[in-house]
């Protein structure tokens, strides 16, 4: 009888396990070296990326502090596009894209992408661009 082997664990899964086991007693430098050896990583930067991901994923479980960046969405293109989208419920999708191009200095493709994101995130009364 042929037995199927269990699926191979990804480096990400192995990194989570490593971090969970070793974070209390290894310094950052030793943790980097451990990750390079155990996960067969090519560089220090790779190891730091896996450590950062693991720390972020396990922060609530292990009660460790992980500071996340706070981004003011009103200043991002996506945030400004959403503001314009919400204020102009009478515009069609094509008109909305033209407004994004003019107001936010976007390309047509970028305006189409941002318009699609706004449609997906929109919550409110009827909007002409969503018809």
Specify the pTM: 0.48
At residue 9, does pLDDT exceed 60? yes
Q: For residue 85, how many other CB atoms are within 10 A of its CB?
A: 24
Q: Which residues neighbour 30 within 8 Å (Cβ) at sequence distance 6 or greater?
A: none
Domain boundaries, the chain: 11-62, 77-130
- Rounded to 10°, the helix 93-104/77-87 angle is 130
What pLDDT, on the 0 to 100 scale, is given for residue 45? 94
What pLDDT, on the 0 to 100 scale, is given for residue 103? 92
pLDDT in tens, 49-89: 999 888 888 877 777 766 666 666 667 888 899 889 888 88
Segment 1-26 shows an average pLDDT of 80
């Amino acid at each position: 009888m042929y037995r199927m082997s269990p699926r191979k664990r990804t480096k990400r899964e192995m990194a989570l396990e490593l971090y969970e086991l070793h974070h209390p007693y290894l310094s950052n430098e030793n943790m980097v070296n451990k990750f390079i050896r155990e996960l067969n990583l090519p560089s220090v930067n790779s190891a730091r990326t896996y450590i950062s991901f693991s720390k972020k994923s396990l922060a609530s479980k292990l009660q460790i502090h992980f500071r996340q960046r706070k981004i003011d969405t009103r200043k991002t293109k996506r945030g400004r596009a959403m503001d314009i989208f919400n204020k102009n419920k009478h515009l069609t999708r094509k008109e909305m894209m033209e407004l994004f191009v003019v107001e936010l200095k976007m390309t047509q493709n970028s305006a189409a992408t941002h318009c699609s994101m706004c449609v997906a995130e929109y919550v409110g009364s009827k909007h002409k661009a969503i018809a």
